[in-house]
Chains A and B, each alone.
Chain A
Amino acid sequence: MSDAIDPGDTPDLRAAEYVLGTLEPAERLAFEAEMARDPSLLAAVAAWKDWLAPLALTVEPATPPPELWTRLQLATGVREAEPSRQPVLSRLWRSPAVWRTTTAAAMALAASFAFIAFRPGEPKVAVLLAPNAPQPAFLLRATARGNGRIEPLNPAAVEAGRDLELWAMGPNDARPHSLGVLPVTGRSGFFPAPPGTQVLVSQEPAGGSPTGQPTGPVLYSGTLR
């Protein structure tokens, strides 16, 4: 191949340029349409992705802002808790067998939640759990009229110079909204939240998040049911 001659426009080269990212926006769209019609291009694109991917190693990694994980948690419904905890707790709530087989302490704990959760109608509850602790940290109860109370059950001590902030994100909300900074002794107040609302407690600078969105780690989370 002579240096003077453009190698021209082949499907494989377009696949390479697509993966490299050099196609202009309109060309990019045209190539995607072509790909949809011609699956053999998918294989070419996959091969080029593998070949060029190591170029990403030349880029310095950068720590994403902490709220990115919070956003992902909210968007996916993934809890920071270990995967086994939530299913175990909800099984406890549902299973009659648990009343016969668990220890008295666990029964008492489960029974207190079951009473609230299973009472017909109000109130709705959210049990807020920490990722790595088996004990519920806060219990939030809300009535359909929009009154709620959050009670500390077993939260860890708050770091000096930090506050805990309570957040809610309804099933149709794009972002969480603040319900205010939490006094460790609990709090009553207006809590307009439909079932399925995600309730979060994040650690924030003293006085609460400066941005109106969670900025610190989400320490506890749960869903209002």
Chain B
Amino acid sequence: MSAEHDTADRIAELLRRCAMADPAAFRALYDLRSARLYGVALRITRQPALAADAVHDAMLQVWRNASRYDPARGNADAWLLGLVRYRSLDIANRGRREVLGAEVAEPVDEAPDPLARLTASREGERLRECLEEVEPDRRRLVVMAFVEGLTHSQVAARSRQPLGTVKSSIRRALMALRSCLDPGGRAKR
């Protein structure tokens, strides 16, 4: 069992304790995950103050609504990440994007092989195997959209491709991922 998998179990346990208003669990959760969550929020909002707001709001939601996390419904780490991404996308869409209008292509310190980091967890390893089956240009669009928190039109502007092409490329990549990650179609459609 990988270290990341243990981490997901630990997070599930901390969420359970947060649901019972255990402050030490809240602090432990913060210590364990704030850097990962802030990193994610920073890439999406691109401003430290907005990223801090996103993590603040998400952690506050955790404290108030930890009882809403349902272990049967998914991985605890993914749930936590989902909260922060949701707030980050919301904040980014309300603020910067509308003000800026046209997307500016910004240099991003992309790791030479970002997918190499996925091997840190069992779920990540599985995703990586499936991503490697996806055509590289489409894969790049999916990873860019997720990491930078971009909408279809923003991905189109960034990659200098027509919107329709971007949409269908991403859809095809997602469908390929789905049939690889969930070959029997067991997850509910």
Q: Are A22 and B117 in contact (CB under 8 A)?
A: no
A-B contact count (CB 8 A): 181
Q: Are A47 and B188 in contact (CB under 8 A)?
A: yes
Question: What are the interface flags for A62-80 relative to B under an 8 Å C-beta threshold, 1 for contact and 0 otherwise?
Answer: 1111011101100110111
Q: In the complex where A44-B189, A72-B30 touch, is A54 in contact with B124 (Cβ < 8 A)?
A: yes
Cα separation A136 to B152 with both chains bound (whole Å): 56
A57 at the B interface (CB under 8 A): yes
Cα separation A47 to B82 with both chains bound (whole Å): 12
Please give me the residue from chain B that is nearest to A42 by CB atom. Answer: B73
Cα separation A21 to B41 with both chains bound (whole Å): 13
Cα separation A13 to B47 with both chains bound (whole Å): 30
Q: In the complex where A63-B35, A78-B26 touch, is A56 in contact with B175 (Cβ < 8 A)?
A: no
In the complex, what's the smallest C-beta–C-beta distance from A140 to chain B, in angstroms?
21
Q: Are A75 and B60 in contact (CB under 8 A)?
A: yes
Cα separation A78 to B31 with both chains bound (whole Å): 14
Q: Are A68 and B187 in contact (CB under 8 A)?
A: no
Cα separation A188 to B78 with both chains bound (whole Å): 50
Q: Are B74 and A58 in contact (CB under 8 A)?
A: no
Q: Are B189 and A83 in contact (CB under 8 A)?
A: no
Please give me the residue from chain B that is nearest to A5 by CB atom. Answer: B168
Q: Are B181 and A58 in contact (CB under 8 A)?
A: no
Which residues 1-25 in A have Cβ within 8 Å of B in the complex?
Answer: 1, 3, 6-8, 10-13, 16-17, 19-25
Cα separation A171 to B109 with both chains bound (whole Å): 43
B59 at the A interface (CB under 8 A): yes
In the complex, what's the smallest C-beta–C-beta distance from B99 to chain A, in angstroms?
14
Which residues 15-64 in B have Cβ within 8 Å of A in the complex?
Answer: 22-24, 26-27, 30, 34-36, 38-40, 42-44, 48, 51-52, 55-56, 59-60, 63
Q: Are A50 and B115 in contact (CB under 8 A)?
A: no
In the complex, what's the smallest C-beta–C-beta distance from A78 to chain B, in angstroms?
4
In the complex, what's the smallest C-beta–C-beta distance from B18 to chain A, in angstroms?
10
Q: Are B172 and A21 in contact (CB under 8 A)?
A: no
Question: What are the interface flags for B153-181 relative to A under an 8 Å C-beta threshold, 1 for contact and 0 otherwise?
Answer: 10100000000100110111011011001
Q: Which residues of B contact A89 (CB under 8 A)?
A: none
In the complex, what's the smallest C-beta–C-beta distance from A65 to chain B, in angstroms?
6
Q: Are B52 and A65 in contact (CB under 8 A)?
A: yes
A159 at the B interface (CB under 8 A): no
Q: In the complex where A22-B145, A78-B63 touch, is A49 in contact with B82 (Cβ < 8 A)?
A: yes
B118 at the A interface (CB under 8 A): yes
Q: Are A59 and B121 in contact (CB under 8 A)?
A: no
| Interface residues of A, Cβ cutoff 8 Å to B | 1, 3, 6-8, 10-13, 16-17, 19-25, 28, 40, 42-44, 46-47, 49-65, 67-69, 71-72, 75-76, 78-83
A-B contact list, 17 entries, CB within 8 Å: A12-B178, A21-B89, A22-B151, A22-B170, A47-B74, A47-B182, A49-B74, A50-B78, A53-B82, A55-B127, A56-B81, A57-B117, A57-B118, A62-B42, A72-B60, A78-B63, A82-B24
Q: List the 8 closest A-B pairs by CB distance, nearest first.
A: A54-B124, A53-B78, A6-B168, A47-B187, A61-B35, A58-B114, A64-B38, A43-B188
| Interface residues of B, Cβ cutoff 8 Å to A | 4, 22-24, 26-27, 30, 34-36, 38-40, 42-44, 48, 51-52, 55-56, 59-60, 63, 73-75, 77-79, 81-82, 85, 89, 93, 109, 111, 114-115, 117-118, 120-121, 123-124, 127-128, 142-143, 145-147, 149-153, 155, 164, 167-168, 170-172, 174-175, 177-178, 181-182, 187-189
